[in-house]
Amino acid sequence: MWVEKILGDFGDKRRWREYKNRVKALPPGYRAAAEAVERYLMYAGALTRGDALVSMYEDLADLFERGAADGTPVRAIVGGDPVEFAEDFLRNYSDAQWINKERQRLNAAIEEAEREGGGSNGGGRP
């Protein structure tokens, strides 16, 4: 639909708003931690698919909601190194990162260059 091309997927926008409301409903410490991880993932993640991005954040909300419900301390959720936690969390969604598209593009370009005569001895080296 042309409207979605201009405005984006309405389902993803609805899911994003729901995610934000879920985080707002967390107890203060859990909310602050979830928002901090969200901010880091937004900068470090560079996901290209909206559905993957929203799924990642929904999973983050699930994690902090469960922790809050169980009384699990924030530090027990994110561990001793919050950056390591966020990086590990992000790895579960790496197939949607923009860098993967660039990796595929680089591999395809090198394969094409090889087919065009850049193979053995094509560059004048023994």
Domain containing residue 20: CATH number: 1.10.1900.10
In a domain? residue 37: yes
In a domain? residue 111: yes
In a domain? residue 121: no
Domain count, the chain: 1
Q: Is 97 helix (H, G, I), strand (E, B) or coil?
A: strand
Provide the 10 A C-beta neighbour count for residue 12: 17
- What pTM was estimated for this model as a whole? 0.70
In a domain? residue 104: yes
In a domain? residue 123: no
pLDDT at 125 over 60: no
User: Contact at 8 Å (CB) between 1 and 40?
Assistant: no
In a domain? residue 53: yes
Question: Can you read off the two tokens belonging to residue 64?
Answer: 């902090």
Least confident of 15-24, 90-99, 104-113: 90-99
Q: Which residues lie below 8 Å from residue 93, measured CB to CB, with a gap of 6+?
A: 45, 47, 52, 53, 55, 56
In a domain? residue 74: yes
Mean pLDDT computed over 4-22: 77
8 falls in which pLDDT band (50, 70, 90)?
Answer: low
List, for residues 71-108, the tens digit of each pLDDT value.
999 999 999 999 999 988 888 877 655 666 777 788 88
In a domain? residue 78: yes
Q: Which domain holds residue 26?
A: 7-115
55 falls in which pLDDT band (50, 70, 90)?
Answer: confident
